[in-house]
Amino acid sequence: MSSLVWIDGKLLAKQDAKVSVYDHGLLYGDGVFEGIRQYHGKVFEKEAHLQRLVDSARAIRLQIPYTIAQLGAAVEETLAANHMRDSYIRLVVTRGPGYLGISPANCTAPTVFIITDTIQMYPQEMYEDGMAIITAATIRNHPNSLSPKIKSLNYLNNILAKWEAIDAGVPEAVMLNHLGYVCECTGDNIFIVKAGILRTPAEESGALVGITRQVVINLAGTAGLAVQETSLTRYDLYTADECFLTGTGAEVVPVTSIDKRTIGAGKVGPVTRQLMEAFHRKVRQG
């Protein structure tokens, strides 16, 4: 049976779920989205994701034609229609179809669609043994150009940094900001452990403040671990005792090498493992 996609209030077969080639989400990357996980039949951090979607839309003057409650109900409807219990959800709002020309005033109404599918960002052995990553030459967008809090459809600079990772034969790349400080990876937030303290780039770095990032910070606090949201340099990464990434798709994945520098002992560290296990317990408990 073909999976069903929710689009503008209707459930359509995957092959029939289409948007206009005049949609400004396609033509100009004018839109916002959320990636959300479902574990054991429950949507994880649903309210936080939906609120961020609404806030992102408001920031770019995009009026979503549904309330948060209606969007949540549409997500649940799509999951039920596809008989999903463990899935990845992509909720997208575009500016909608308009004319050739950048003006958003020419768009008639936003397009909203929901995809539910499965996802595996990285192979299982990377969660067990850790991954190698690099730092990219492509920097994160300047925060005065586009607020990093907006989860927009325009990921071109992240994609170019991802190409650098692919060319280097690794799955991820760290992106720096315009000042040369560590910001985030192409699709994940980054943490290090140094002398027992968990450190991650502050919001002011220009990173997208991830939902999973905040969950991990909360779990660390519950476990009595000291957490610092601060400026980090490449030197801090290279000399860290441990390093790991967080994201909705990635969850919590350890890093054991950056730019060919071995991190710590070159294996999954105790703090990383503790937080991975705490995260897995949380999503199992719902």
**Active site members:** 151
- Alpha helices by DSSP H, 132-254: 156-168, 211-222, 234-238
Strands 261-262 and 172-176: unpaired
- Cα 203 from Cα 230, distance rounded (Å): 8
Tokens 């991802």 belong to which residue?
Answer: 162
* DSSP annotation of 14: G
If one counts every other C-beta atom within 10 angstroms of the C-beta of residue 95, the result is 28
Per the CB < 8 A criterion, the answer to whether 38 and 86 are in contact is yes
Task: For residue 39, report the phi and psi dihedrals to the nearest 5 degrees.
Answer: -125, 125
36: tokens are 């959300």
